[in-house]
Structure 1
Amino acid sequence: MESSLLRAQKLLEQRRYDLAERELRQVLEHQPNHAGAHAMLALCHSQARRHDEAIAESRQAVGLAPDDAYVHYIHSVVLHDAGQYRQSRQAVDQAIAINPTNADYFALLASLFVTGERWKDAAESARKGLALFAEHVDCKNILAIAQVHLGQRDEARTTIRGALGEDPDNPLTHANQGWAYLHENQPKKALEHFREALRLGPGNEWAKAGLVEGLKARNPIYRLLLAYFLWMSRLDGRVRMGLIIGAYVLYRVMRGVAESVPESMPFIMPFLILYIAFVVLSWLGAPFFNLLLRLNKYGRYALNRTQRIQSNAFGAMLLLTILCAVGWLVFRVEEWAFVALSAFLMSIVVVSALGMGANFKGRQGWHMFACALGVIAAGEVAAFAIGANSWGVAMFYAFVLGVFGFTIGVNFAGARRTQV
């Protein structure tokens, strides 16, 4: 059985998970209480995205060997892959408490802090891992990510250079170099490293995401939007919220001044229009430029399945919005303006709902909420079609309130999900 276990370990290193699973099941047939085999089988399930089975196996491993740091570490890995970040943090903390001398454990903890955008904690954990093993490439990569978001660009360059020196064929390192260039507003250099990362590791999601952003950043408008997104990602969450609320308060004040002092309107109106345009772009800029990329004969291959579906749905809602808006402008039928605005708002809901990953907490409930909003919007259109305009207007306002609640709720749920 030891030979089967060794073969399984080798197959896991080679990422041949189906063959590794076969070997591990042979081990467990003869030794059903082998904690290490259960832990490795959990990894196989996790790589196949069978997250419930992976968590069940890793929990069994922990139950069989509660004092074994490795099984707690594997339990943390599969919880992380399943998007259960708080529980993953608890498991890796337990692994470190049992064995505080393994750099892999600190690398995983640092990656969890990256997920929660706790950049200082991520850098500290990565440095602890490097103190244990100075050539740990994952710790160097995570440290570089944290340094970029902390504004320590020179230090990040040095860290990435060191990681490339240790392992020049590491796709994650090239992907990190690409993201560092994006933060420096150099999309052309970023694309070179994203392409190299995907050549070395075709399944690297971090590099794929960077490649899409780099391709879209060739457009000067999206480049400005991306620069804003990346700048905001480097700020503390409370500072970000303060800026968003502050900008909205300033908008309301300027709008009030413009209404009370009509002479100031020509000077204030451009700023109000810019603010509204910026808010709309921050909501729908990414799917809009995904749509442009989708229509490009080469760019379409860079998008993943979710992004393609999002861009198709957004394109359909955008077309409906434009048609209704044109109808309102040409025929001066007020009801068409309500429908145009509803179609536009529905595009926000559709993009948000489709963007939820399989591990998004309450995903099914949010999808039902989105469907309910779609039914209300359809009822609004039907009411206008049969001449029941008062009902149509009432349903429009109910729909707007629903969209507002949906966006606030989804953003709040997403923020809580990444807390560690």
Structure 2
Amino acid sequence: MNDSQTDYLPRVQLLLSQQRHVQAATELRRQLSLDPYDYVAHALLAVCLLEQEEFGEARSEAELAIHLAPEYDFAFYTLALVEHRQHRTAEALAAINQALALDPTDADYYHLLGSLRLASGQWQAALQATQTGLQFDAEHAGLHSLQARALARQGRRQEASDAARSALGYGSESSSIHAQAGWVALETNHSQEALAHFREALRLDPTSEFARAGLVEALKARYWVYRTFMRFIYWTNSLSAGVRRGLFLGAYVVARFVPVLLPLYLAFAYMSWFSDVLFESLLRLNRYGRYALSEAQRRHSNHFLALLGVGVAATIGALARPAVPGLGTLGFVALGLLFPLVGTEQLSHRPEQRARSRWAGWALAGIGLASAALAALGLGGGAAGMLFTAFLFGTLAYTWVFALR
């Protein structure tokens, strides 16, 4: 492309640096009306559409840029960004590896590669990506920040703290860098420091969902029970996937054969399911926490508290008035439905799996409520018991399938 064809680029780059994606998209569409084969404009338009969460159009623009210029590495990078935002990790890895094959010296590409490895639990691979990227740009704040996260996940606390400080040195005015430093502080057991970083991140960018989620996590860490549980989780995250599976399966087997340990195992199992929503519900009593929760978190808390309230009330009622039929069954059903409720919410970033989990929850609810209704009406004879047994085994199967998944 000649200079007359690219004179729009300075304007678009300025708008992008100012986070004015709508205006940048307008400029790019104007350029594409003059030259529909401008692959640079298509790739940049994909970035603008991605920031507006127009994922389908963003993917189309990135793919069109690749079609027009298969040797253009940035087009593959934009496609990787789109796939990453939609949690399509395999597709994102394929695209970013293609971008790196075309240009193996771009630090931004290594940053995305490291982010994908980190999201997949591949701590060492994430660390390797950051170290390679820093060879090409030693002052890349994002790479230093990602390096800190990977080191923290490996349990290398001091190195993680040093890398986080380096990131802040190069990106002290970046909301994302402060938010990443907050997560590193959380994972290295410095909750007060984490709160300070998340607050600064939100001051720099009040719309940052990443920083808001971190602030909620830091507020929950004020409760010693949650803090202790999360320390254990962060420690297990520093282990390999095989060791983690062996640890949890071994704990289950030991608890089965050593009854005195069963209450401790059950407490851990319930915390692993309900710690987030339980402590998010407690944050609603905190004058700061209630504003930090998102609308989705408040709605999830409402559903959780409603089921928990019905379950506890019905169970207490059954104990107080054992002659009243159906109360005990209703209590068990309400408490059992907490598992698919929480499991479905945890799959919010995986639409297909979330849909299957939701349908499993509705099926369990139908079976459980039918058994409670039959028991309350004194109808059905053994049918109520059979349905209740099916509900219990179905709930148990759900928890195992969800955990293995």
Q: TM class by shorter-chain length? A: over 0.9
Partner residue of 1:285 out of 267, 275, 292:
275
**Which residue in the other structure is 2:398 paired with?**
406
Gaps of 5+ in 2: none
Partner residue of 1:328 out of 291, 315, 318:
318
- 1:50 and 1:317 map into 2 onto residues whose CA distance is 36
Check conservation: 2:141, 2:167, Cα contact below 8 A: yes
Check conservation: 1:287, 1:314, Cα contact below 8 A: yes
Check conservation: 1:175, 1:193, Cα contact below 8 A: yes
Matched, 1:351 2:342: yes
- 2:295 and 2:23 map into 1 onto residues whose CA distance is 27
**Which residue in the other structure is 2:368 paired with?**
377
Partner residue of 1:360 out of 351, 356, 373:
351
Deviation at 1:229, TM superposition (A): 2.1
**Which residue in the other structure is 1:92 paired with?**
96
**Which residue in the other structure is 2:157 paired with?**
153
Check conservation: 2:345, 2:354, Cα contact below 8 A: no
Range moving further from structure 2, 400-409 or 77-86: 400-409
Instruction: Write out per-residue CA displacement over residues 153-194 of structure 1, whole angstroms, 9 at most, x where no aligned residue.
Output: 121122111111122222233223322322232322221111
Call closer, same or farther: CA 1:382–1:124 in 2, change over 3 Å: same
TM-score by length of structure 1 reads 0.90
**Which residue in the other structure is 1:63 paired with?**
67
**Which residue in the other structure is 1:263 paired with?**
none
**Which residue in the other structure is 2:224 paired with?**
220
Check conservation: 1:92, 1:108, Cα contact below 8 A: yes
One-letter code aligned to 1:79:
E
Corresponding residue pairs, total: 399
Provide the alpha-carbon RMSD of the alignment. 1.8
**Which residue in the other structure is 2:167 paired with?**
163
Alignment of 1:202-241 (within 5 A): 202-241=206-245
Alignment of 1:245-264 (within 5 A): 245-255=249-259
Moved over 4 A (4+): none
Call closer, same or farther: CA 1:303–1:59 in 2, change over 3 Å: same
One-letter code aligned to 1:104:
D
- 2:48 and 2:254 map into 1 onto residues whose CA distance is 53
One-letter code aligned to 1:394:
M
- 2:300 and 2:200 map into 1 onto residues whose CA distance is 27
Q: Secondary structure at the match of 1:3?
A: coil
**Which residue in the other structure is 2:306 paired with?**
316
- 1:72 and 1:135 map into 2 onto residues whose CA distance is 24
Deviation at 1:216, TM superposition (A): 1.1
Call closer, same or farther: CA 1:42–1:120 in 2, change over 3 Å: same
- 2:62 and 2:400 map into 1 onto residues whose CA distance is 35
Call closer, same or farther: CA 1:85–1:58 in 2, change over 3 Å: same
Range moving further from structure 2, 330-339 or 373-382: 330-339
One-letter code aligned to 1:186:
H
Alignment of 1:178-217 (within 5 A): 178-217=182-221
Gaps of 5+ in 1: 256-267, 414-420
Deviation at 1:133, TM superposition (A): 0.7
Matched, 1:342 2:333: yes
Check conservation: 1:306, 1:355, Cα contact below 8 A: no
One-letter code aligned to 2:274:
L
Aligned residues with identical type, % of pairs? 36
- 1:88 and 1:131 map into 2 onto residues whose CA distance is 23
Q: Secondary structure at the match of 1:203?
A: coil
Deviation at 1:306, TM superposition (A): 2.1
Instruction: Write out per-residue CA displacement over residues 179-224 of structure 1, whole angstroms, 9 at most, x where no aligned residue.
Output: 2322232322221111112112223333222211111111111111
Deviation at 1:310, TM superposition (A): 1.2
